[in-house]
Structure 1
């Protein structure tokens, strides 16, 4: 069962909803318009058709710019990266938190890497370096609210297509945010520390990355966390070969070529990217991959 099919969410696909609205306005409900090839493409697709090379590239097809954000608004400031194109419509937004004692600078490669693929990316600083996962989750949600309501790039962001990500305690924060705001489109926890140890109430498509040589947040713990995600929620688990807890601190094609499709599929409803995850087209550097394919 896909995310859009879950009756508890009562959330139809965006394109179907748009067609229903048009049909209502016209006073005609045409079943043929709600099925078949017309539903294959998402109105939120951004950029050219993807290839193995494009999802692995250090720079995507979009030129980007960035703007710094001062401390305040419920979080410690940060940097927003955004595509400069103005002829593509709005873009989905992603807020990202660093881990314990970390700053955005430690994982800043993620900003331009993801933004150049067609997202508005907000790398945040936390209020304090030792903030808990719950606090980081609160700050990620505050950052998304700022991004869509008060930031200088708010007109470029679709407030209905938002996601969270983080590393270590920031990863736990991203998962905590997903639990508290099920309207999010996607969540990624990289070596996430989540004190509750369960995602039994998770309704957001969630990817968990475990590092094979991580002694702080070992793969066994993250396997248990992954197993707690409901069967009705889209989910993925990737074990990165030979990696330690802070693997995300350096640019990684292994992470990028799997993160980008996850965000594209769930933020943009872009099925062109399913080929990279269902099944995984390139498992180089990955010891284990679990998933709820087909993803949609």
Structure 2
């Protein structure tokens, strides 16, 4: 079934954020893109290495080297709570954090495997449930992802474990559209990972956040030519952009359960751009060649 987006009025906070972005854009002059990002991508900038040196085998494993625990979050003002996955190791300093949204009509159990995967690789991860019986549209999900990050860094019981300057978003389907929206609203994010994303907006040229987009060849809900591909093509201001299209039989729901290709590349991308860990560069550039798992890939590698 295809998504049937419904109208939604912007909240006052979201209208205020959007007004600020547009005002800043106007000050920069017509045709000039805002050079705003907290991404630690420049050569020589501090790395936050967590865990042993990576190997292809470690990237393809279902879980990483860190033991982790969970915290259940009750309903919040703009989203229906969720689960925080966090490394229990306190010897390596603070960790980067990622908020993840499920897709249209989906619950957080459809994205729980990202919580386990990424927490075991040295990130604090918040998988959320959205409001309105899971029918929230992408813009609302983007706002919820940012609220979830604020909860992580300001209120949660694990806030002392998190570096508030190393934050990211991800999501499936409408949650992936929400991740794009969150990147638009908060350019200080370190990374964004939309998975078979949906959004009615097709031009994301204002986004500066490093972004990795996944499409699927057999996706008949958010066809790549209407969603993932134009999203990637318009990310011309992103400090890094990366596109992987999963080969058939991969479809719209492939990201809702463990997939070795999805497990490998977002993990490396998160390490490289949230932690500035250059040990993972070798696993991102060059991008994967066509194979039984990958239909095609595109990228604008840093410095290329």
Please state which band the TM-score falls in when normalised by the shorter chain.
0.7 to 0.9
TM-superposed CA distance for 1:248, in Å, is: 1.1
TM-superposed CA distance for 1:12, in Å, is: 8.5
CA 1:43–1:108: 2 relative to 1, 3 Å: same
Which one of 13, 25, 36 corresponds to residue 9 of structure 1?
A: 36
Per-residue CA shift, 1:6-28, capped at 9, x if unaligned? Answer: 993386859x9xxxxxxxxxxxx
Match of 1:190 in 2: 195
CA 1:210–1:153: 2 relative to 1, 3 Å: same
Q: Does 1:200 align with 2:205?
A: yes
Is the Cα contact below 8 Å between 2:95 and 2:163 reproduced in 1?
A: yes
Match of 2:87 in 1: 83
Match of 1:178 in 2: 183
Over the aligned positions, Cα root-mean-square deviation in angstroms equals 2.1
Is the Cα contact below 8 Å between 2:37 and 2:209 reproduced in 1?
A: no
Q: Which 4+ stretches in 1 moved above 4 angstroms?
A: 10-14, 281-284
Q: Does 1:59 align with 2:63?
A: yes
Match of 2:97 in 1: 93
Is the Cα contact below 8 Å between 1:274 and 1:295 reproduced in 2?
A: no
CA 1:100–1:11: 2 relative to 1, 3 Å: closer
In the alignment, the residues of structure 2 paired with residue 246 and residue 295 of structure 1 have an alpha-carbon distance, to the nearest angstrom, of 34
Per-residue CA shift, 1:33-69, capped at 9, x if unaligned? Answer: xx9xxx38x4411111000011111110100000100
* Equivalences, count: 268
Match of 1:264 in 2: 271
Match of 1:126 in 2: 130
Match of 1:150 in 2: 155
Per-residue CA shift, 1:150-169, capped at 9, x if unaligned? Answer: 00000001110000000000
TM-score in terms of structure 2 length: 0.83
Per-residue CA shift, 1:178-216, capped at 9, x if unaligned? Answer: 000000000011111111111111110011100100111
Is the Cα contact below 8 Å between 1:73 and 1:143 reproduced in 2?
A: no
Match of 2:299 in 1: 291
In the alignment, the residues of structure 1 paired with residue 155 and residue 262 of structure 2 have an alpha-carbon distance, to the nearest angstrom, of 31
CA 1:295–1:45: 2 relative to 1, 3 Å: farther
Match of 1:275 in 2: 282
> 2:127 aligns to what SS in structure 1?
strand
Q: Does 1:139 align with 2:147?
A: no
TM-superposed CA distance for 1:225, in Å, is: 1.7
Is the Cα contact below 8 Å between 1:278 and 1:295 reproduced in 2?
A: no
Is the Cα contact below 8 Å between 2:63 and 2:120 reproduced in 1?
A: yes
In the alignment, the residues of structure 1 paired with residue 50 and residue 280 of structure 2 have an alpha-carbon distance, to the nearest angstrom, of 11
Is the Cα contact below 8 Å between 1:170 and 1:192 reproduced in 2?
A: yes
Q: Does 1:228 align with 2:234?
A: yes
Q: Which runs of 5+ in 1 are unaligned?
A: 1-5, 17-34
Q: Which runs of 5+ in 2 are unaligned?
A: 1-32
In the alignment, the residues of structure 1 paired with residue 59 and residue 40 of structure 2 have an alpha-carbon distance, to the nearest angstrom, of 25
TM-score in terms of structure 1 length: 0.86
Which one of 200, 209, 217 corresponds to residue 214 of structure 2?
A: 209
Q: Does 1:240 align with 2:246?
A: yes
Is the Cα contact below 8 Å between 1:275 and 1:281 reproduced in 2?
A: no
